[in-house]
Amino acid sequence: MQSRNATSTAASAASGRRWPLHRALAGTSTFLLCALLGAICGSSVLLIAGTRLDPGSANTFEMDRSIKPGDDFYGYANGGWLGTVAIPAGYASYDTRAMLKEKSSRRVRDLIQEAAASPSVNGSIAQKVGDYYASFMDADAIEARGMTPLRDELARVSAISNKTSLSAYLGTTLTGEVDGFTANADHIFGLWINQGFEDASRNVVHLWQGGLGMPERGYYVDSSPKMAALRAHYQTHISVVLKFAGIADPESRAARVLSLESRIAQAFAPDADATDVFKQDNSWKRGDFAIKAPGMDWDAYFKSAGVADQLDFTVWQPSAVTGVSALVETESADTWKDYLTFHLVEHYAAILPKAIANEDFSFYGTFLSGVQQAPERKQLAIAAINGALGQAVGELYTGRYFPPEAKSRAQAMVSDLISAFRTRISSLEWMSPDTKQKALAKLAALEVDIGYPDRWIDYSTLDIVRSDAFGNMRRAEAFLHARNLTKLKQPVDPIEWPINPQVPGAVIMFSPNAEFFSAAILQPPYFDWKGDAASNYGSAGAGMAHEISHSFDELGNIYDAHGRLGSWWTAEDRAKYGVAAQKLVTQFNGYCPFADLCLNGKQILTENIADLAGLLVAHDAWILSQKGKPDTLIGGQTGEQRFFLAFAQRWRKLQNESALREQVKSDTHSPGEYRSDTVRNVDAWYKAYQIAPIDRLYLKPEDRVRIW
């Protein structure tokens, strides 16, 4: 897993917005993190965790001791598990991460339902969480209100009469709903408050392209019959929604809305630009908008957006700002009003009458995502609460499942990892002395946060009322937006949590320079705060070190210690790194899961290097943590053995053939078995398991890859 410049909006993940919801419901388990980590997030959302608890030891009962560790270490470590667990119906693959996700979801569901069922002090987070849920679940009340909740907002759209009033209305849709990786914001532009690319001392407004009802640009501009059919279906969907909103002649209006969206899509930046952050580093002064992007009444727009006094903006996709602004001038106000009406109804579909929610699901769920069964309402409610009150749920979650002792034990491990990194970086062969100084400065400044925030979001000014689903969502959105805007007046806060503690995962922020590991990912068997250090370091420790290494590799080398954009490797460093890495490319090219399909060592190189770094650094850190104490046996295994065993166990995964083939062809991460085989490059593994030249996995010392 990697990141360029991420941060979060767990907010958008659940205030009921359609993409986050539908993606989550469609089973895109990595959505939350991918939202944070974007296009390069790939399929490995990093740290893996949790199946059966086995406090105090590696999961030795899930091994297969009939296999020789030197012949098939992955099979030796996981044979018992692989032989007894089946891929559940509806899954193409299954691993400990999936199990952990299910476990955390159950816990969150129970906490929320308990809060809804038991009376709490008014104003407490339990009251807010419980009442948000109860109001969302009150389908009868929602049905009885019909479209009334939208009446005022629809009237505001209806009152648009000219360019200035249109611009002013569009400004109200600039809410804090995107993050460093959003491809398509919910409204024409998305807002992200984060430090500047060059100036780390203050937050600026980052502006995003957006406003498409379908996932991305290609859906509008691709001329294939498949996409053409999809657009026709979308147009029908728009007309059905407009009819719900009481709009006359919905069919021809839907055609015009689709036409407007297609023009917006044409203005989007090419997809290829999304992976090049330098192309997104476009500083615009407030005065530039009228010159570079004529059309919109920018005074009216920024005033109603609440950022009228901002002078500095970072425009990620200038073509979209220019293109959409021109459309404000050239498209009729009536078309814009229909477009806004359609998106307004869509935005709140989950808490409007059932017919609308059904229509929404039939297009986004069934047609676009292939999901036949609509989710249970409680799933939607829980997702919405995780967005609207994410840290309130996190506070309830960690209060029950992640005590301060767990946090301090994981923090101690991080401290050992950082010490180990310091030594490793200092002795890297491919990095020049000057570059090492920069790397060490970046390491010293790196903020690594564990479990949950030290300071929770204060929701006391957010009113949540048991009988008002619509009002709750509106107020929560306004609360989060206002909180976002406040950051413009505050110094950059590198410890602003971009992920909710109850979500199993981690986020690397390159800008600012910080990494976050949630409480829900720090669970057994991945991390057991009461358990065996060797297993914790081999599993969670190696995962954390993998992530930290990205701050110093070819991904992180374009961000400095303060998260400012700019490469700090020299050309010579880069060349030497490339030479050292080539051996790993060759090694992984030799792995062939099928007779006709081998791994592509180049495609998976960055992640394989991070796996190697993670394993080596975690091993160093484990040694440090032992402070010279004699090794102990647990389950018949030495500490050295348990360390490597836990590493191999974190990669176990069941996949059907097509899922495995797909991963080999397109993923930047190796299949689990080969990630586990990273041990072949580590001398300590040979010693721990007495691996000899006769063993199948044996590599001669000179063939072991030593990049880190």
Closest to 206 in 3D by CA, of 189, 192, 225, 186: 192
For residues 506 and 518, the answer to whether their CB atoms sit within 8 Å is yes
* CB-CB contact of 442 with 551 (8 Å): yes
- Residue with smaller CB distance to Zn ion, 464 or 585: 585
Secondary structure (DSSP) of 562-626: TS-B---S-HHHHHHHHHHHHHHHHHHHT--SBTTB---TTTTHHHHHHHHHHHHHHHHHHHHHH
The distance of closest approach from Cβ of residue 2 to Zn ion in the complex, given in angstroms and rounded to an integer, is: 5
Per-residue contact string for residues 456-495; x = within reach of Zn ion by CB under 5 A = ----------------------------------------
Residue 550: CB minimum distance to Zn ion, A: 6
Of 585-644, binders to Zn ion (CB under 5 A) are: 607, 610
Q: Which is nearer to Zn ion, 548 or 682 (CB)?
A: 548
Choice between 254 and 610, CB closer to Zn ion? 610
In this structure, the strands spanning 312-315 and 203-209 are: parallel
To Zn ion, the closest distance from the beta carbon of 3 in angstroms equals: 9
Rounded Cα–Cα distance for residues 515 and 451 (Å)? 11
Nearest approach, Cβ of residue 642 and Zn ion (Å): 24
**Exposed / middle / buried, residue 437 (Cβ in 10 Å: 0-12, 13-18, 19+):** middle
Residues in the interface with Zn ion (CB under 5 A) total 4
Report which DSSP code applies to 554: T
Residues 6+ apart with CB under 8 A from 523: 49, 50, 100, 103, 104, 401, 504
Residue 553 C-beta: closest distance to Zn ion, Å: 9
**Strands of 312-315's sheet in order across:** 189-195, 203-209, 312-315, 283-285
Shortest Cβ 607–Zn ion spacing (Å): 5
- The answer to whether 1 contacts Zn ion (rule: CB under 5 A) is yes
Interface with Zn ion in residues 134-193 (CB under 5 A): none
Strand pairing category for 653-655 and 514-518: unpaired
**Which one, 7 or 127, has the nearer CB to Zn ion?**
7
Which of 1, 115 has the CB closer to Zn ion? 1
Residue 508 CB, shortest distance to Zn ion, in Å, is: 8
Nearer to Zn ion, 129 or 506 (CB): 506
Beta bridge partners of 94: 654
CB-wise, 2 or 670, nearer to Zn ion?
A: 2
Task: Give the contacts of 545 (CB within 8 A, at least 6 positions apart).
Answer: 417, 420, 421, 613, 614, 615, 617, 618, 621
Could you tell me how far CA 344 lies from the centroid of its own chain? 26
Q: Which is nearer to Zn ion, 487 or 546 (CB)?
A: 546
- Is 508 among the residues that bind Zn ion (CB under 5 A)? no
Q: Taking the complex as a whole, how short is the minimal distance between the CB of residue 507 and Zn ion, in angstroms?
A: 12
For residue 431, the minimal CB distance to Zn ion (Å) is 19
45 phi and psi angles, rounded to 5 deg: -85, 45
Among 1-9, 93-101, 561-569, 690-698, which window interacts with Zn ion (CB under 5 A)?
A: 1-9
Q: Should residue 320 be labelled a site residue for Zn ion when binding is judged by CB under 5 A?
A: no
Residues whose CB is less than 8 angstroms from the CB of residue 644 and which lie 6 or more positions away in sequence, other chains included: 73, 538, 679, 682, 684, 685, 688, 689
Query: Rounded to whole angstroms, how far apart are CA atoms 480 and 483?
Result: 5
Rounded CA separation 6/524 (Å): 27
CB of 676 to Zn ion, least distance (A): 15
**Residue number, 2 or 167, with CB nearest to Zn ion:** 2
In three-state secondary structure terms, 428 is coil
Which CB sits closer to Zn ion, 416 or 607?
A: 607
**Shortest Cβ distance from residue 515 to Zn ion (Å)?**
12
Subset of 250-279 contacting Zn ion (CB under 5 A): none
Characterise 526 by phi-psi region: left (phi > 0), alpha (psi -120 to 50), beta (else). alpha
CB neighbours of residue 400 within 10 Å = 12
Residue 462 CB: number of other CB atoms within 10 A? 21
The minimum distance between CB 610 and Zn ion, in angstroms, equals 4
Residue closer to Zn ion (CB basis): 125 or 508? 508
Between residues 392 and 545, which has the closer beta carbon with respect to Zn ion? Answer: 545
Q: Tell me the three state secondary structure of residue 506.
A: strand
Instruction: Give the three-class secondary structure for 101.
Output: helix
Among residues 549 and 625, whose Cβ is nearest to Zn ion? 549
| Closest CB 418 distance from Zn ion, rounded Å | 18
Q: How far apart are CA 684 and CA 643, in angstroms?
A: 10
| Cβ at position 87, least distance to Zn ion in Å | 25
Residue 520 exposure: Cα atoms within 13 Å on the Cβ side: 27
- Would you say 359 or 515 has its CB closer to Zn ion? 515
Task: Look up residue 97 and give its two tokens.
Answer: 């991460």
C-alpha span between 421 and 617 (Å, rounded):
6
Residues contributing to the site for Zn ion (CB under 5 A):
1-2, 607, 610
